[in-house]
Structure 1
Amino acid sequence: MAHAASAPQGAGTDVSGQGEPKPRMARQLGWYASFSLAFGFVSIATGIFTTYGSVLATSGPRGIWAWPIAVIGQLSVALVFGALAARIPISGYSYQWVSRIVGPVWGWIMGWISFAFLGVVLVAVDYTIASTILPELFQYVGTTQNAWVITAVVVLLQAVLVAASTRTTHRVNSVAVTVQLVGMIALTVLLFAVGAFTGKLDFANLFETGTIPESGYFALGGGTSVGPFALAFLLGAFTIVGFESAANMAEETKNPARVIPKAMVQAVLSLGVLGFLFLVAITAAAGQVSGVGESDTPVATIITAVLGSVVGKILLVLVVVSIFSCGLVITLSGTRLVYAMSRDERFPGWQLLKRLNRRAATPLNATVFMMLVAQIILAVFSRSTDALFHLFSAGTLLPALIYAGTVAMYAIKRRSLPASQGFSLGRWEVPVLVVAGIWLVYELLIFRDASFLAPWTYVLVLFAIGGVYFAGLLFRRGRDGLTMPDMADIDRALDAGDATSAGPAMERSAR
């Protein structure tokens, strides 16, 4: 099977031999851009800053020990995704993989879940800027009203940047990821060094439960409840997601079958190690800082107490940069998914959403659509005082469903998959699948807790909307009308820039 490494690198149009040149997304992303996509989406600064307070409240300081377990689980998922990306390097990741390997019906379901996830997680990360960080940074009283307005503006800015230029978007993201890497490493080193010098590190605090009772701490819980330690897994589960965004840019990446798996795995590993060191540093320091449990921004409170107010402010600026970068990658990934499904004529309004802008060679209509979806989700959640908890819970539940479905598909169909062109699990395939399966089942069982009723409601509402549309799609076309293009034809079309053989929608995507 041909892969897409030989596609033209700088072209913004393709010529099919019929009529005028058609817009085409150029292959311009190398390894660091691909790594930055995975790293920027995951964004440990965003995830830890957003959820650390919840971990202290539900699991106590000891809850940070759930992080390395979650890293191992998510790394096993990233390895499976890497093996799939090396076999099917095309925009749409799980939607494309499941459609071509299991069938178009299951593929559409996976694509719709992915769309629901990207919509809600975009609002979740951007809402953090408005609801917690800016009020702390500029010392004003945050309300649901001003948080709504600020988040709406941030979402709009990200959409404008993504629609205007893919190259500029990646440059902004690469710079932001570099700033985040350097900043998080510097903060971690400073916390350990200054904390040790001033005696503000209490490593015994790493094993304390805080206000959480010791009795039943590791209990599995009941039918509608989970134990305190189980809830701590949400820190890693919410933070270490989105690494697959690199795979969603496969058609714009040079040598994607080799570059993308490497970028995803390296992003999860580096984030996992750096994130845990940072968690150890702030948790050890938290034992010597008063008022952490009552703070809306406990990470900033700890940093300020140990390193001073100036460094605390710098941390907040770093988090704003990281969150904006994270939202930028989510917007980019969401538009590519909507474009991919529309190109296959399987998304509501596909006639408009499959079009590429001639000047920028970006899916402009799909970008505007993702922005509007995010604004609607924001309007639904923003009046709630618990909006941030509900948003990040939904942003953890949905990727768990995506990962579980994709890993299950790989396990069942692994012997009939296309040949890999750049990455293979080899003899580690079965152990990796076992670890990934156990981890994902355990993670999904956490969401039986009654506190997750709102996220489940969001998921069910989105499923109902998608179900109505898909039922109409099946009624109009029938199951046979949803057959995906042959994978070899897709690859050949991407290699040659021939839009006419890549499926019925690809040919007409510029109209």
Structure 2
Amino acid sequence: MTATAPSGVRPGPAGTGPEGDAADSAELAGFGYQQELRRRMGRYASFAAGFSFISVLTTVFQFFALGYSFGGPAFFWTWPVVLAGQLLVAACFAELAARYPIAGAIYQWSTRLSTPAFGWYAGWLMVIGRIVVVGAAALALQAVLPAIWSGFQLVGGDPSPTSASGAANAALLGLILLVVTTLVNVLDNRVLTVVNTIGVTAEIVGVGLIVTLLLTHSDRTPGITLHTGEAGGAIGALLIGSFTAAYVLIGFESASEMSEETVNPRRTAPRTTFSALTTSGVCGGLLLLGGLLAAPSLTDGRLATEGLSYVLTSTLGDGVGKVLLADVVLAICAATLAIQTSATRMLYSMARDRQMPCSAMLAKVPRRTGMPAAAAVAVGVLAALLLLLNFLSPEALLAIGTTCIAMVYLAYAMVTGPMLVRRLRGQWGEPGPDEKDETGRPLFSLGRWGLPVNAVALAYGLLMTVNLAWPRQAVYDPSGGHWYFQWFTVLFLLVMMGLGFLVRTVRAQRGHSASDRPPVPALREPTQ
């Protein structure tokens, strides 16, 4: 039994250049949308969108200390486990990217797989989650800049992100970065593509150099990764240690978010989704291993507080170490830009369907730039407001980071869940023989592996959501003085869902409803 994709699937080969762009635009019209964003991105730029969002240099440097402080060297093994789970999720998303090459991927996919109301909540969670991710990424500058030059510590004297002065300085640096990324996001996607491409290339080169230097300066064998920390025993410690990988290995679907700006998206997006995740997975795993093998000491406490910045400057010397840290700064800037771009496209997609407050303004795309400027500014301002929480307490950094990741995992499950239901009902299967991508080749499909891959992907996503949101005092409120940080993720999720319900209720009372959106082409029933 097979299921065909929605109308608009290109039946055969297409040209490149203006003719190919026209065909892509015609397909988008089949989904009820006009081509407003500039379709200029090639395969490498599409890969860069996902790789920049993940940005192993940003997030591994930001969260290495957290994983090590709870899991010890053995937290390394949580990396391949999380990577395997995310690859299963990515496989499901790749099928959807081939059939629905539309901006606002999670929202669009969930809506078409389930109901408009369910899809709206998935999109709502993803918009909020990504706005928080933007803020969390901008905070990563604190883990690197003061290690390069003490003058970057503009507030107080303690650069540790967990100290009061370090947290306040992280917020200040993050605010400066958000101003820059917002400006780039309202200019032109050629500027955006150039910045992302340069950032990704520099990051890949930087990862290669850092890993090579760390492995050639290693003082111990990989057997050290079999040791664990003291917190909560092996299982408890590794569950917390998995936070590092969980924080890093998200955002691979950003290539799909940029589908309306990508040439030949049905062919390109599924492949760049996989390549971004696998490349990041390999690079990140090697960074973790290199850091553990080359660290001057595993017991002096610095690895659990300063992370990889300490390893680089201590092992390679201030000169080489600081040059490599400068490359990390570039990666952080590119990551923040890419995440803000992805959040902007999600917000724009929902506003275009008239599903958000101020939809007319947020969906506006000036013809001169081809960029949803109002949505970009909204994301930047909201992320900046979240950074102000860091002035209140150092624990806010971890609370913000965990909250956004839990929301992203939950939104992922709101796609893989309905997709699994459709598979079980026989409403989703292999594409028909007449369904081709832009090059005339069959659409990406999991074939007979679709059902087991989908089922495990959903189970993994739900378990990881619970793991991230679990209110552990040792993690979220170690000082014991702020109970609300311990429950921050759970409370934030509940508040955001309640706020979403309020938004929908108020809009319904004012005459706005899901019926206001353009018609959604439904999935065709499977054919025998």
Shift of 1:205: 2.2
Q: What is the match of residue 223 of structure 1?
A: none
Shift of 1:487: 2.8
Q: What is the match of residue 452 of structure 2?
A: 431
Shift of 1:204: 3.4
Shift of 1:337: 1.1
Whole-Å separation in 1 of the counterparts to 2:411 and 2:249: 14
Residue identity matched to 2:122: M
- The alignment's TM-score, normalised by the length of structure 1, stands at 0.85
Question: Relative to 1, partners in 2 of residues 1:482 and 1:190: Cα closer, same or farther, differing over 3 Å?
Answer: same
Find the partner of 2:254 among 245, 248, 261. Answer: 245
Q: What is the match of residue 64 of structure 2?
A: 52
Q: How does 1:279-428 map to 2 (within 5 A)?
A: 279-286=288-295, 288=297, 291-293=300-302, 296-414=305-423, 415-417=426-428, 419=431, 421=436, 422-428=443-449
Q: What is the match of residue 116 of structure 2?
A: 104
Shift of 1:459: 2.4
Residue 206 of structure 2 aligns to a residue whose secondary structure is: helix
Q: What is the match of residue 4 of structure 2?
A: none
Find the partner of 1:153 among 176, 189, 192. Answer: 176
2:112/2:522 contact within 8 Å kept: no
User: Are 1:448 and 2:448 matched, yes or no?
Assistant: no
Residue 28 of structure 1 aligns to a residue whose secondary structure is: coil
Question: Relative to 1, partners in 2 of residues 1:437 and 1:295: Cα closer, same or farther, differing over 3 Å?
Answer: closer
TM-align CA RMSD: 2.4
1:46/1:319 contact within 8 Å kept: yes
Find the partner of 1:135 among 137, 143, 146. Answer: 146
2:68/2:304 contact within 8 Å kept: no
Structure 2, unpaired ranges of 5+: 1-6, 27-33, 160-164, 437-442, 477-485, 524-528
Shift of 1:339: 1.1
Shift of 1:134: 1.6
1:133/1:297 contact within 8 Å kept: no
Q: What is the match of residue 33 of structure 1?
A: 45
Find the partner of 1:468 among 474, 484, 502. Answer: 502
Residues 448-470 of structure 1: CA distance to partner in whole angstroms, max 9, x if unpaired? 23335112222222222222111
Shift of 1:112: 0.4
- The alignment's TM-score, normalised by the length of structure 2, stands at 0.83
Residues 427-451 of structure 1: CA distance to partner in whole angstroms, max 9, x if unpaired? 2212211321232132122122333
Shift of 1:290: 6.2
Residues 261-305 of structure 1: CA distance to partner in whole angstroms, max 9, x if unpaired? 100111111111221122111112236466453664220111223
Residue 263 of structure 1 aligns to a residue whose secondary structure is: helix
1:104/1:482 contact within 8 Å kept: no
Find the partner of 1:67 among 62, 68, 79. Answer: 79
Residues 363-389 of structure 1: CA distance to partner in whole angstroms, max 9, x if unpaired? 111111111111221223432212221
Q: What is the match of residue 457 of structure 1?
A: 491
Aligned length: 466
Shift of 1:56: 1.3
Q: What is the match of residue 220 of structure 2?
A: 201
Shift of 1:61: 1.1
Whole-Å separation in 2 of the counterparts to 1:437 and 1:337: 22
Residue identity matched to 2:204: L
Q: How does 1:228-239 map to 2 (within 5 A)?
A: 228-239=237-248
Residue identity matched to 2:319: V
Residue identity matched to 1:481: S
1:339/1:363 contact within 8 Å kept: yes
Shift of 1:189: 1.6
User: Are 1:217 and 2:241 matched, yes or no?
Assistant: no
Q: What is the match of residue 19 of structure 1?
A: none
Whole-Å separation in 2 of the counterparts to 1:486 and 1:63: 44
Residues 186-219 of structure 1: CA distance to partner in whole angstroms, max 9, x if unpaired? 2112221233xxxx23433212224x16x8322x
Residue 346 of structure 1 aligns to a residue whose secondary structure is: coil
Q: What is the match of residue 498 of structure 1?
A: none
Whole-Å separation in 2 of the counterparts to 1:9 and 1:364: 26
User: Are 1:278 and 2:287 matched, yes or no?
Assistant: yes
Deviating more after overlay: 355-364 vs 445-454: 445-454
Q: What is the match of residue 184 of structure 1?
A: 207
